[in-house]
Structure 1
Amino acid sequence: MPVPNEVIILVPGLNTQEKNEFLEIFCSSLSEQLESFTVQENGEIKIAGHTGKRFSIYNKQELYKTLDIYEAYYMDVFASNKLSQKDEKTKFIRGGEVLIYWLISPIWLSVKESPSLFIYFIISAILFTGWYYGILAAVLIAIGQTNSFFGGAIPLEMAKKIGFFGESMKGWSFWFFISILSSFLPISSLIDICEFSAAYLGEDTEGSTIRSKTRGRVLNLLEDVLKSSNYDRATILAYSFGVAVATDTLADYHREKFFRYITLGGTLKVLSYKSNWGEREINKCLNNATITTWIDCYSNQDWVAAKTPLPKGSSSDKMIYKKVSAKSSSFLQRFLGKTHVCYFYDSSVWETIIG
């Protein structure tokens, strides 16, 4: 009996930076967490300029399958749009827009549907507000020192009063509070993810450009890998914000090659409170015959993500939910988002991926 060849295409979240970083994390967990199989790494594999890794999976002493794994890298699009690395004017203007965008949101309704998600949203809102408070104070102080607002002249007396108010905002208690939070919370990452998510959902030219570039990175790999006749089965595996990107890409992807879709810790529930875009894309995927099965792995201990919602009136049986438990997770771990990686340490998730 011939040994089946399978390919897995990874769509990472926004918590990785370097190309193939998520690929390394995934492959390391594959070797460590897969209990019922033995994993042997066989080096690099290349298709049309894309570099992945090849593994042999053994069931006891018998070769079970050959597995190739590739990462769809789109972090360059994210990196070029990081709000935390922009100039003070952009932080002041765009930061205010993003803060209002998320605060004025039906996401508050999640208190009934997903209390854990609601708690995390409250925490994120407090952190974002604290960050913007600091930006606002710095801008007001700069006005007092330069008698101008980003190049526009301001009367001297008014500028002094504005600058004095900015100085009063920088009370020692505020900065002590912010410094304590910054020492163990990735505030900059939170700001960048909130801004990128808002931009991705945007209906303007910028949002369309970001979505087009991001989808293009994923689509390029899909086209080159899935058109290969070397594979008996294909799996698209997306994690965190990568679930939004992959769902957006796969919704309109119709080819002869069929594949499974597996999602881990998806953010589509979060995004659905701000836009009906997510519901439309989910519905398209469920009606896409190219996708044979959609397995959605979620955890109630993962406060960063939530169970992918089924669109209202959907009669599709394609979606299969898999509940994952983050063993021995504390309130602090959930608060810090540490449980968001629980899927990579659950043997049943790996059995699902490999099985």
Structure 2
Amino acid sequence: MRRSLIMLVPGLTRVTSTAQLSEFTEGMIAASERMPLTQISDPTVPAGINRLRVNDKQELDLVEAYWNDLVPSITQQSLKVRLARGFSLIWFWLANLHIWKGVLKRKYLTFGLTLSALAFIVWYIGTIILFVEAVEPTSDSPFYPAVQQLKQGVEYIGGWRIWLIATAVVAVMPVALLVDISDFCKRYLTNEPAAKGKPAVRFEIIRRVREQLENSIKLYDYDSVTIVGHSFGSVVTVDLFADLPPIGKPIRILTMGSLIEVLGKQAPWLQNEVEQLSQRKDLIEWIDIKSHSDWFASGSAVPARHHCYERIIGSYGTFPDKLAARVHSRYFDNQEAVRLLLTYFEKQNDPSISPTSHEILEPV
């Protein structure tokens, strides 16, 4: 019996362990057109593994490298922490204009980043308003006149039409999640810890994913290992495998809805990791998958090598779906994405099958 391992490295979402693995498994089964998949319900299957039967000679083990519990939520912190942390994020993201270099030529990505910036600004202004309203100095305090003026200013801002419009637009967006992602990206890219006295959150996540990979490949003599990195999970995947020693198995990597190209402008080390990963000796394939309908993904800018390539897939989504980042989370049940994931296994059963032709990703 041939058996291969597929490990999902998810993006940042506030869900419990195995929730995204279930979504990933169900999406694959539903969207696989050319290779029927059946989930195996057997008590002998180890916990944490979703095993799929391809045929009587081949099975796929699906696992998740869960790391979301290592990431703090800035939106759940105190007002003082949110105020101070928010200012540092403004400086990191908005004041460093070089991040926009080359991005403004791509209308969909520019729109998505602009909406994300708008969501953050609305959230931060709301934080400032709450902070000002919470301050109640006594009438004999030297700060009393200044605080009263600030409160009058807050009331004035609340009446702005543009503020009302911006608030209405942002209301349909996952603001808290976008703010948490902005904060987490800064922590990860700059090696900040999740809390004082702890190691950098980047290193904690890499260690967690590496340990889960090592534990998984010990369970069975797998023919190959496929890593699927979604959203920020693409960054974690590249960061880990660029430096990880050979694991003794052929490795495939699929990055979906990646943010690497944009984040690499803030962190040159990430661009170096992309180049290093592409030269990995046991890497047999790296497919970077993106949809034009996904306004919150830039792609990974993978080097042009015979085993590394970018693919753009079709994905339907209404304007609210794109605005609320629902399209960004719909790669797992996208038929084209699933076909790219499974073609390698199809070819093992029928060598005459060639990969489906797909459009090469171009800046838009």
TM-score for both structures, normalised by structure 2? 0.84
- Say which of 51, 55, 58 aligns to 1:54: 51
Quote the offset at 1:46 in angstroms: 8.0
Unaligned runs of 5+ in 2: 344-364
1:185-264 maps to which residues of 2 (within 5 A)? 185-204=173-192, 209-255=200-246, 256-264=248-256
For residue 43 of structure 1, what is the aligned residue in structure 2? 41
How big is the alpha-carbon RMSD for the aligned residues of Structure 1 and Structure 2?
2.6
| Amino acid corresponding to residue 97 of structure 1 in structure 2 | S
Cα 1:24–1:91, aligned 2, differ >3 Å: closer, same or farther? Answer: same
| Amino acid corresponding to residue 189 of structure 1 in structure 2 | L
Contact 1:301 1:339 in 2 (8 A): yes
| Count of aligned pairs | 337
For residue 29 of structure 1, what is the aligned residue in structure 2? 27
Task: Give the stretch that moved more between structures: 176-185 or 68-77.
Answer: 176-185
Quote the offset at 1:169 in angstroms: 3.2
Q: CA offsets, 1:214-263, max 9 Å, x none?
A: 11221111111124442112111111110001111111111323311111
3-state SS of the aligned residue for 1:304?
coil
Cα 1:235–1:163, aligned 2, differ >3 Å: closer, same or farther? Answer: same
- Partners of 1:108 and 1:300 lie apart in 2 by 18
For residue 126 of structure 2, what is the aligned residue in structure 1? 134
| Amino acid corresponding to residue 70 of structure 1 in structure 2 | V
- Partners of 2:138 and 2:239 lie apart in 1 by 47
- Partners of 2:204 and 2:42 lie apart in 1 by 27
Percent of paired sites with the same residue: 24
Contact 1:44 1:51 in 2 (8 A): no
Contact 1:12 1:240 in 2 (8 A): yes
- Partners of 2:21 and 2:193 lie apart in 1 by 32
Determine if the alignment matches structure 1 residue 321 to structure 2 residue 310: yes
Contact 1:45 1:52 in 2 (8 A): no
For residue 67 of structure 1, what is the aligned residue in structure 2? 60
Determine if the alignment matches structure 1 residue 267 to structure 2 residue 259: yes
3-state SS of the aligned residue for 1:19?
coil
- Partners of 2:132 and 2:201 lie apart in 1 by 32
For residue 166 of structure 1, what is the aligned residue in structure 2? 154
Contact 2:8 2:227 in 1 (8 A): yes
Task: Give the stretch that moved more between structures: 285-294 or 109-118.
Answer: 109-118
Q: CA offsets, 1:127-171, max 9 Å, x none?
A: 11111111112222223x2359xxxx7533333333333343333
Quote the offset at 1:20 in angstroms: 0.5
- Partners of 1:113 and 1:100 lie apart in 2 by 23
TM-score for both structures, normalised by structure 1? 0.86
Contact 2:4 2:61 in 1 (8 A): yes
Quote the offset at 1:50 in angstroms: 5.7
- Partners of 2:330 and 2:262 lie apart in 1 by 19
Contact 2:187 2:193 in 1 (8 A): no
For residue 346 of structure 1, what is the aligned residue in structure 2? 334
- Partners of 1:55 and 1:297 lie apart in 2 by 23
- Say which of 12, 15, 22 aligns to 1:14: 12
| Amino acid corresponding to residue 26 of structure 1 in structure 2 | F
| Amino acid corresponding to residue 168 of structure 1 in structure 2 | Y
Determine if the alignment matches structure 1 residue 97 to structure 2 residue 88: yes
| Amino acid corresponding to residue 354 of structure 1 in structure 2 | L
Cα 1:51–1:345, aligned 2, differ >3 Å: closer, same or farther? Answer: closer
- Say which of 47, 69, 84 aligns to 1:76: 69
- Partners of 2:240 and 2:93 lie apart in 1 by 24
3-state SS of the aligned residue for 2:24?
helix
Q: CA offsets, 1:51-101, max 9 Å, x none?
A: 11111113xxxx3511111000001012xx111101000111101111221
3-state SS of the aligned residue for 1:38?
coil
Task: Give the stretch that moved more between structures: 223-232 or 242-251.
Answer: 223-232
Determine if the alignment matches structure 1 residue 155 to structure 2 residue 143: yes
3-state SS of the aligned residue for 2:37?
strand
- Give the structure with the larger helix fraction: 1
For residue 307 of structure 1, what is the aligned residue in structure 2? 299
| Amino acid corresponding to residue 66 of structure 2 in structure 1 | Y
For residue 334 of structure 1, what is the aligned residue in structure 2? 322
Cα 1:97–1:262, aligned 2, differ >3 Å: closer, same or farther? Answer: same
Contact 1:235 1:259 in 2 (8 A): yes
| Amino acid corresponding to residue 294 of structure 2 in structure 1 | D
